Structure 1
Amino acid sequence: MTAKRTEPCEPLFNFDQPVARENTDSDKWRRYQQEAERQGRDIIPMWVADMDFVSPPAVLDALKERVEHGVFGYGKVSAGMTDAFCHWYATQHNWQIDPKWIVWLPGLVGGLHAVARTFGEAGSAVMTHIPVYPPFLKVAERTHKQLQAVPMREGPRWSLDLEAMQAQLKSNTRLFMFCNPHNPTGRVFSREELQQLSNFIVKNDLVVCSDEIHCDLVLDKSRRHIPLASLNPEIAARTITLLAPSKTFNIAGLACSAAVIPDHKLRLDFKHSIQGFMPDVNLLGFVAAEAAYRNGAVWREQLVCYLAQNRNRLMRWAEGKQQVDLKFPEATYLAWLDLRATGQEKPAQWLLKETGVALSEGADFGLPGFARLNFGCSLAQLDRALERLDQILN
């Protein structure tokens, strides 16, 4: 396998440039350090949703300027940050966000837990779909709620099983937790699918938490992200949308995200619930986020092009492999590998031992026998990982 591209991308930024992260504070690269020493070889980390790309120049320049100022007292979100945030979602996703709807948060995972804590009494039920990003499966227990995890339909494309969701609904189900674009399958749900979900939410008098953190990473030009709350006033009045620049611009360590809550009462309830429990956003997080939203559009377009080519490379690798089934990821830099044909209940653990490639275990997402692969890296690193996986996945 050679790291050669044939698809034109007219790159303005060099995503092929390797970045040494091995001896830094990177959780992604340090997690398997002891395993690497035990195996006597390097471990290629393709697990956590953290890209191996340098953030946009505009972000780096803004951070340098702020650091050179030299004073880091208590901060407050600027009017410029709010304007950049609202302008981004208006121009990129055709969603007009009223600034008063925004509640700033220091992280999306904390936001998931805060939503579950706020909506529904102790012992009430929280419904979600599986597979799904692991924190979705932990928030119910951590907030003293019951979890209802409804399997998605597989088919040619993963989809919500609304009939199963309706059948499993309880009288005390209060909250539905939704992920779109979907982590880990990469689905971008269509307007029709979102309208059906909206009907389900309204019919059953539920609140919905919509994690849309990957919305800027739609890889197919034939598809577009539609914010759930933008569908109609009825669903907007029941939706808490969680957003962040962290995945798009690779700035997760700067801890800046937002809950967008159009309904006044839901917003007040949420604000009251997090008082004293949720810290403020990191000062430099606001600086990076504003620069990214204001000046990062071209960089993001180039990133999406690069990720789409990596996705296509991965699809070609999976074709014809009897032990691997991979449905086309429409968004994100995550691939959901069906490895049930290997007979391994924990294939990520098995592949780590046999090949030195670290993937995310499917059981953590609610489905044993699968593994999630992060292709948000240079083509050379992706090829190196696939060559190792070829040693055992034939």
Structure 2
Amino acid sequence: MFDFDQEIDRSGTMSLKWDKYKGQDVLPMWVADTDFAAPPAVVAALTERVAHGIFGYSRPSPRLIELIMQRMASRYHWDIQPEWLVFLPGVVPGLNLACKAWSQPGRGIVTPKPVYYPFLQAPGFNDRPLLTVPMVLEAERWVLDLAELERQAPSADLLLLCNPHNPGGTVFTRAELLAIDAIAERHNLVICSDEIHCDLLLDKQARHIPYGALTPAAAERSAVMMAPSKTFNIAGLCCSFAIVPNARLRLKLQQAMRGISADVNLLGFVAAQAAYQEGEPWLSEQLDYLAGNLALIEQAVSRWPGVTLAKHQATYLAWIDVSALDLADPIAFFEHVGVGLSPGAQFGDGQFVRLNFGCTRATLTQALQRMEQAILNRP
């Protein structure tokens, strides 16, 4: 029904992803947006709203709030209240606001490592010590080192969690989340959980559990940050939200936002509403397509001596271990053969690369062929 094989020329569209290698024969497989057209319902809603011609200050519609509440209830059996919602122009601003709102000067902020790089930057941007907990490989999945979290937690006020994990692709189980929460309870940590990839589950056995849906006590010490942006490829419209059940934490977040955080884009609200109201058939087909792309990557990696990919449960971002290739600069190595990847060093481990497979099958096939040729033919 939806054509994910359609090649759409993104040149000349102010695309961060494609402009990076403008004029070069390099396939951009780096920053996390996809090359798929947004759902037709989203495009139609935006077209109608633009035709209105007035773009003043805006607020979320009652219908959008209702859709978010319904989504939490139907997907996760989590009954949230409208007053728990705090709309944000992005999850990254949300991470930085969390640092301001829920930690004290001199107290640390804990984050996994490797992790999406704004997690590693946000504490420093807000004059807080960065404390990192390694992600370790257990049963082919990347999980938090709980012993190290226990060790770091007494020095911290806040844990920045990423679930599903970017770049590792893990969807944390209930047992894993409860183990994290037990540590948070012992050490009075606030949990800010970035769950922006929660709709992008590729493992049919995985189930996403919002942190606030774990237990009533977990809800009271946490904020869940979500957005339709990655799911429906509308990241440039800048509409995200935090779900903060605890009134005291919510007030602190709202106070931190004053005079700093911009209002959400009007068209972001429009797109979010259309996506959540009519985007499910498109999302279902996108997930099938991405699962097919992931299978191609897994097949390719199995042919590359020493290169590995852990069990990948969610996101369209593959975290590939190239340490066995002993490359001085993995990114330059693959750019030389025409594939632009995200550097693992940015996320905390320079011996990995992150490959964005939110693209057409043809583009992915070409990228994997180029990578394979470089790996198999290297001196």
Question: Which TM-score applies when normalising by structure 1?
Answer: 0.93
1:31 to 2:20 alignment: yes
**2: CA distance, partners of 1:116 / 1:345:** 35
8 Å contact from structure 2 (residues 154, 187) kept in 1:
no
Map of 1:245 onto structure 2: 228
**Deviation readout 1:329-375 (Å, 9 max, x if unpaired):** 100001000000111253123211x2110000001101111000000
Map of 1:180 onto structure 2: 163
1:262 to 2:245 alignment: yes
Find 1:369's aligned residue among 348, 351, 358: 351
**1: CA distance, partners of 2:14 / 2:88:** 23
**2: CA distance, partners of 1:322 / 1:297:** 39
8 Å contact from structure 1 (residues 346, 362) kept in 2:
no
**1: CA distance, partners of 2:349 / 2:368:** 23
How far 1:104 moved relative to its partner? 0.4
Find 1:98's aligned residue among 62, 67, 81: 81
8 Å contact from structure 1 (residues 244, 258) kept in 2:
yes
How far 1:81 moved relative to its partner? 1.1
**2: CA distance, partners of 1:236 / 1:228:** 7
**Deviation readout 1:196-216 (Å, 9 max, x if unpaired):** 111111111100110000000
SS of aligned partner of 1:178: strand
How far 1:273 moved relative to its partner? 1.1
8 Å contact from structure 1 (residues 346, 361) kept in 2:
no
How far 1:117 moved relative to its partner? 1.3
Find 1:157's aligned residue among 137, 141, 164: 141
**1: CA distance, partners of 2:151 / 2:104:** 22
Map of 1:204 onto structure 2: 187
How far 1:248 moved relative to its partner? 0.2
1:356 to 2:345 alignment: no
**1: CA distance, partners of 2:81 / 2:174:** 22
Which ranges of structure 1 fall in alignment gaps of 5 or more residues? Answer: 1-11, 37-41
SS of aligned partner of 1:29: helix
8 Å contact from structure 2 (residues 153, 184) kept in 1:
no
How far 1:32 moved relative to its partner? 2.1
Letter in 1 for 2:300: W
Find 2:153's aligned residue among 148, 155, 169: 169
Find 1:20's aligned residue among 9, 28, 32: 9
Map of 1:344 onto structure 2: 327
8 Å contact from structure 1 (residues 88, 294) kept in 2:
no
**2: CA distance, partners of 1:282 / 1:326:** 37
Find 2:63's aligned residue among 80, 90, 97: 80
1:142 to 2:125 alignment: yes
1:221-240 counterparts in 2 under 5 A? 221-240=204-223
**Deviation readout 1:91-147 (Å, 9 max, x if unpaired):** 223222211100000111111111011111122100011110000000011000000
1:106-121 counterparts in 2 under 5 A? 106-121=89-104
**2: CA distance, partners of 1:318 / 1:302:** 25
1:252-291 counterparts in 2 under 5 A? 252-291=235-274
Aligned residue pairs: how many? 375
1:297 to 2:280 alignment: yes
**1: CA distance, partners of 2:143 / 2:100:** 27
1:89 to 2:78 alignment: no
% same residue: 45
How far 1:23 moved relative to its partner? 2.4
How far 1:224 moved relative to its partner? 1.1
8 Å contact from structure 1 (residues 334, 372) kept in 2:
yes
Q: 1:335 to 1:154 in 2, by over 3 A?
A: same
Map of 2:111 onto structure 1: 128
8 Å contact from structure 2 (residues 203, 313) kept in 1:
yes
**2: CA distance, partners of 1:294 / 1:271:** 27
How far 1:43 moved relative to its partner? 1.0
SS of aligned partner of 1:63: helix
SS of aligned partner of 2:130: strand
8 Å contact from structure 2 (residues 304, 372) kept in 1:
no
Find 2:308's aligned residue among 319, 325, 328: 325
Letter in 1 for 2:340: A
Letter in 2 for 1:373: L
SS of aligned partner of 2:169: coil
| Bigger Cα displacement from structure 2, 341-350 vs 182-191 | 341-350
**2: CA distance, partners of 1:89 / 1:345:** 45
| Bigger Cα displacement from structure 2, 79-88 vs 141-150 | 79-88
**2: CA distance, partners of 1:99 / 1:189:** 26
**2: CA distance, partners of 1:24 / 1:77:** 27
